[in-house]
A = this chain, B = another copy of it.
Amino acid sequence: MTDPSPDPARLDTAGIQKRLSAFRDERDWARFHDPRSLTLALAAEVGELAEALAWTGDGDAAIPRDAAADELADIATYLLHLANALDVDLGAEVERKLVTTRERFAGLLPGTPSRAHGGAA
């Protein structure tokens, strides 16, 4: 008898959150990882992404894709550290949110303008 395989369509962050908390503890950084400090660090990384896209125009051609990808990884890293600091399972939160968002937009016809085109709010 084996455990069922994890659903590959669900985001599973348990493993990476554990690795990042080990990474943090090896360096004795837990004392820096309060939610406010990590939120400021997260805002700094989002600022770097914003800087990379500030003068490119909306056309895709000029987008510095590699620089942007690098910033996405930094943002994700602090987001996972934040989830650890708040003792939150980020993957479970994303799943929960996706279900409620799906319900919220259930009756919306394709192409209908919405306040939040990412589904988040």
Using a CB–CB distance below 8 Å, which chain A residues touch chain B? 5-16, 18-20, 23-24, 26-29, 32-51, 53-58, 60, 63, 65, 68-70, 72-83, 86-88, 90, 93-94, 96-98, 101-102, 105, 108, 110-121
Contacts and interface: CB of A to CB of B under 8 A. Distances in A.
B34 A40 contact: no
A77 B37 CA distance: 22
Contacts of A55: 32, 37, 41, 113, 115, 117
Total identical chains: 4
A27 B106 CA distance: 10
A13 B58 CA distance: 26
A67 to B, nearest CB: 10
Given A34-B60, A51-B47, A97 B111 contact: no
Contact of A93 (B39, B73, B102): B73
